[in-house]
Amino acid sequence: MDIRQIGLVGYGEVGSIFGAGLKDKPGIQGVSAWDLKFKDAAARTRATGNGIAAKESMAQLCAGADLVISAVTASNTLAVAQEAAPHLRAGTFFLDLNSASPGTKQQAAALIDKAGAHYVEAGVMTSVPPYGIKCPMLLGGLKARALAEAINAWGMDAKAVSDRLGVASAIKMSRSVMIKGLEALVIESYATARQYGVEEYVIPTLQETYPGIDWTQQGAYLFSRVVQHGKRRAEEMREAANTVREAGFDPFMASAIADKQQFVADCARDGVFEGLPKDARWQDYADRLIKASQRA
């Protein structure tokens, strides 16, 4: 497989990390990116300053790319495939990193494959920043094994799990119900306990029941992650709800998790957590939520 030019759709946290990690790999002649934010000159300058060619349109990005990596929010997964498909060259690989349901990925694949390109879905199995391009991911699709072999040669950690589209996403989304659900449960449980003044009783019982988790430290971490990424997590959980629905179940839990993530995201947008340090305790986050609820 001869991949020399990589195009990134989306130059946010994940896109910029992948760009930095891939641009100097052997055989890669260039990495470009396109993002709606590139309408702002400062956003383009940020990309070019990192050695990434900032393109003016999706068409321009796809015209020269051997591998297009879609790294946008879950709600834009299908829209990106729809916009990219008419501009992809035959034989181009399209790697979809987005957290979307199997059904959404299958719709995106139909568009890309019809254009003569090769769609590969990815289920990114943990947070990207600590791992960079070595973040574990599961790949699915007819060309998943071939692409996994190629990108693993760059130091990535990709495992092809199925030739069938939707399997990798089903794994990712099923896991997300649990992981993002734990975040939502901790926030609701801890803030409620804090309001009643019973956290000194609640936390030790959790520690006793599940001693392998440091519930105080983990609580602070989970609060911070949702405060920072709640909007993106809410979108992912809406896709998780779609995944549950596609499986034939009512997504009671996934939908509630999405609502809780969105609630915290809205609080963050409104400045509820403004000024809290990176090492803030879970109690600090909970106190801000309690004050916000009292003002409402």
Mean pLDDT by 10 residues, the chain (296 residues): 94 95 95 95 94 96 97 95 97 97 97 97 93 96 97 96 96 97 98 98 97 97 96 96 98 98 97 96 98 86
Please report the pLDDT score of residue 115 as a whole number.
Answer: 95
What is 184-235 written as a DSSP string?
HHHHHHHHHHHHHT-HHHHHHHHHHHSTTS-HHHHHHHHHHHHHHHHHHHHH
Per-domain residue ranges of the chain: 5-163, 169-295
Q: What is the distance in angstroms between the CA of the first residue and the CA of the last residue of the chain?
A: 57
What's phi and psi for 2, nearest 5 deg? -110, 95
What's the CATH number for 169-295? 1.10.1040.10
Only one residue has tokens 């734990």, namely 182
* CATH architecture designation of domain 5-163: 3-Layer(aba) Sandwich (3.40)
Global pTM value: 0.91
pLDDT of residue 1: 76
Closest CA to 185 of 236, 223, 225: 223
Beta strands in the chain (DSSP E): 5-9, 30-34, 53-54, 67-70, 93-96, 118-124, 137-140, 158-162
Query: Could you give the CA distance from residue 76 to residue 35 in angstroms, rounded to a whole number?
Result: 12
Q: What pLDDT is stored for residue 296 in this prediction?
A: 67
pLDDT given for residue 295 in this prediction: 81
